[in-house]
Amino acid sequence: MAMTLEEFWQTENGQQLQVDMAGLSQAEQATMLDQLQLASDKGDLSLDFNTDNMFLDSQIAEEKREEAEAYQTEQAKAVEAGDWDKAEELASKAEYAMEEVKDHGGDVADAEILQAQHDQMDLDNADYHQEIADENADTAAAYAAEGDLDTASIYADSAADAADTAADFGAAADQGGTYADQTVDTSSTFDATATIDTSASTIDTSASTIDTSSSYSSIDTTTTE
């Protein structure tokens, strides 16, 4: 015999379900209530209605939601550190966890999954431009070691530009904390430039002075007489 949701709560199954649901998040409780209401509207809710699978799905969805939150928080930390490759991996794991939440009837918006996909694209671009920056920095150091300051300066500037581009793409993917409060500061603490190390080479400073201690763009091409 079909019954309303209010009538179902008065049954033994309904009362036990309310106890079991108390351990779920508010979002998952809302999901189960929606599912029960839908069953009632369809006339499927009865004294013998089996809620075991529904409850199991909600538990799995809750577990995957927590995983997604954890991955997103770690993603934000990786972005702050400029570790684009790690951040991209975490964004991928967050997306998969959110897909699992959705598959088990949990409350996750398609926009949240889409954002995780966009994060991965941004982080892939960040990693690509960082590799260019590193290669140009190495080339600048090599030319500086040979005393070719003009060419070294060109590559150092290119390295700095590529690093800035990488940082811009990476900063767009700081989506850790879509579910939870985000306490990681990703606003402007990351230094996108990297040091050009010329310590392994000897440069005749009687003809020129090169300071490569601070960043890609720090080559001093002034000359001394």
The pLDDT mean for the chain works out to 78
CB atoms inside a 10 Å sphere around CB 159 = 26
- Model confidence at 84, pLDDT cuts 50, 70, 90, reads very high
The residue with greater pLDDT, 111 or 180, is 111
Task: Kindly tell me if the per-residue pLDDT of 188 is higher than 50.
Answer: no
Residue 99: inside a domain, yes or no? yes
Does residue 89 form part of some domain?
A: yes
pLDDT at residue 72 in the model: 92
pLDDT in tens, 19-70: 888 887 787 788 788 888 888 898 888 888 878 888 788 888 888 988 999 9
Residue 81 CA to its chain's centroid (Å):
12
Give a yes or no: residue 193 inside a domain. Answer: no
Q: What is the pLDDT of residues 66-83, one digit of tens each?
A: 899 999 999 999 998 899
Task: Give the Cα separation of 133 and 130 in Å (integer).
Answer: 5
Higher pLDDT: 197 or 168? It is: 168
pLDDT band at 175 (very low <50, low <70, confident <90, very high): low
pLDDT digits 0-9 by tens, 140-153: 999 999 999 999 99
DSSP code at position 46: B
Assess if residue 47 is contained within a domain: yes
Query: How does residue 133 score in pLDDT terms, banded at 50, 70 and 90?
Result: very high
Number of structural domains the chain divides into: 1
Q: Greater confidence, 107 or 144? A: 144
Burial of residue 58, with CB atoms counted within 10 A of its CB: 0-12 exposed, 13-18 middle, 19 or more buried = buried
Contacts of residue 207, defined as CB under 8 A and 6 or more positions apart, other chains included, come to 147, 223, 224
Q: What is the pLDDT of residue 216?
A: 53
CA distance 188 to 192: 10
CA distance 161 to 155: 10
Residue 196 lies in a domain: no
Give me the phi and psi of 213, to 5 degrees please: -80, -20
**Residue 99 to residue 61: CA distance in whole angstroms:** 10
Residue 182 lies inside a defined structural domain of this protein? no
What percent of the chain lies above the pLDDT cut of 70?
A: 77
Which residue range(s) make up the domain with 9?
A: 5-127
* Residue percentage of the chain with pLDDT more than 90: 39
Residue 206 lies in a domain: no
Task: Report how far residue 220's alpha carbon sits from residue 130's, in angstroms, rounded to the nearest whole number.
Answer: 23
CA 67 to chain centre: 13
